[in-house]
Structure 1
Amino acid sequence: MSGPRLRRVAVLVLEGAKPLDVGIPAQVFTTRDSMPYEVRVCGAEKGIVAGGDGLAYAVEHGLEALEWADIVFVPGYRHPDRTRPPLAVLEALTAAHARGARLAAISTGAFALAATGLLDGRRATTHWHYTAALARTHPLITVEENVLFVDEGDVLTSAGAASGIDLCLHVIRGDLGVGPSNHAARRLVAAPYRSGGQAQYVPRTVPEQLGERFAATREWAIAHLHEPLTLAALARQAAVSPRTLSRQFLADSGYTPMQWLLRVRVDAARELLERSERSVDQIAADVGLGTAANLRMHFQRILGTSPGAYRRTFTPND
């Protein structure tokens, strides 16, 4: 008997495509035991597509790949405010969406989705350099200027290239759960979770490697989730005052230390729900949320579901 069908990912390479934007989904979803996906890289036509940065792409598929795909990624491309994808591309994207495929844009790929009209009346983002242009040329879109990605269900958009990794990990979390997403993040040597609402960048007069500065504190906290961690305890571990930790942690991550800690605890609970048979009470204690009632409350507020419903989603049917 054959196994379950692989999830189908099409990466649509447009003229002027940026190499990192193309490579991110192509690599993240490459078929392996931990990633039940199949990837097809395509263009308006099969053959050579001129790219940006002196590169070209030899794509093996044309627009028929969009008829096959469950999700279509549109990488960013050069001069999106001055060029428009061919009509055949826009029609293929619209048709793929109409039959139920999700569409996901990385960086300026959002302009291609915008040109189809599918982003009208929705929230979207793109690289910070182009958010004003996207808002100006497509006034029916609510452009989020300073977020990493926006998930509107069947249409997703992300900011600059690195946030494409965040978007891909977000898709994996939704498809397979937090465990496989964390595994993919480790393979990519990427942050396992950055929320879509996190700032694209934080201007600083003097650049500081704040992420590295508090990396050891974050690792320590993750290893001690079962303990009653406080802001004061985190500050002691970081060797700074609570006020300094709060201010710089927020600038670095988009969260206060305690907001970050809560989300880490919920993610740890998600992984235990997916991979263990421990009760909700036991899991609540394991991750430092105390009681099942407390875990349920935070689960509902952050994820919009209950621990029980979440566990059933990731329990294979007999």
Structure 2
Amino acid sequence: MKIPYFLKFEDEHLISLHQYSQLPDWCKYPLHFALERRYFKQPQIELLSQQLNQEPFFIDLVQINAKEPAYIPFDINDRQLYLYFMLKGSLLYTTGDYRPIIRTQPNTFLMSYYDIGHYFAYAQQGIHIAFVVSILPEWIEGMYQEYDNLKDILHRFKNENKTYDTMYQCRMDRKIHRWLYKIYSYSQANIGAIDGNLRKYISYLLEHYDQVIREQNGDLAYKVKAYIEEHYCDAELSVKFLTDYFFLTERTLLNVFKRQYNMSVQEFYTELRMGHALLLMQQKGIGIKDVYMEVGYTDERTFRSALERYLKRR
């Protein structure tokens, strides 16, 4: 299949690796059946991409060692569906003009699609590991006619005009880790056996994801989270607004959300606002006197206090 994306590093930072024994010491996940290994090394960041391009899948095990926070540029060359697993760390994906798309959380997975264009992945200092599977939509369409949620994702991918979309991000349990291990630990050289192994376990993962979405569609905490992610820059957003919008008591809202996501509602939308504000200040040169209105605050003093607390936590 067509390679869906390319990392935009300078060639001078690329180190050729022909065998997995040449992988850097910090790499904990060798992908033995990878046909291409691309290792980029810069003073502030190292990135190892181990890839297998075998229709209907493009497999990429990406491992990042960030010595300091860094933006990783990449170009998407073909509108494509992704099944994405964040094995360790967390990455913030943005558009080419640094508009936040999603922050992937550790030990979670999701489906998404992106159109042709320029994007960034922002990595904080530390180790980040993502297992990315690009899937031909025709393969999913032929295999999963009875799975309504997968069909809905395909419909959105094929018919909506959105440049990108991310679906429900859910926790990986032991079953998911076991299936993933069956994929990335596979070491046989027989390409036919690898093909069957990939189809089998990716099928399991897709079926499980369809079931999780079905269960979460009726989950109150997820509905609140999805609403906040879409409206966190609205000045009217508050705990009071959310209780009225969802017809809940404040106690029910706070308890349900914190039990599911281990943070309060206010902490969640404040994190989104601060992350967006820092991007605007760092990349677009917007000052505090202007940026606070862009991220949902009505006065500068309240924004400064929230930003100071946010930076201290980091």
TM-score normalised to structure 2 length: 0.40
Q: Which has the higher contact order (CA 8 A, sep 6+)?
A: 2
TM-score normalised to structure 1 length: 0.40
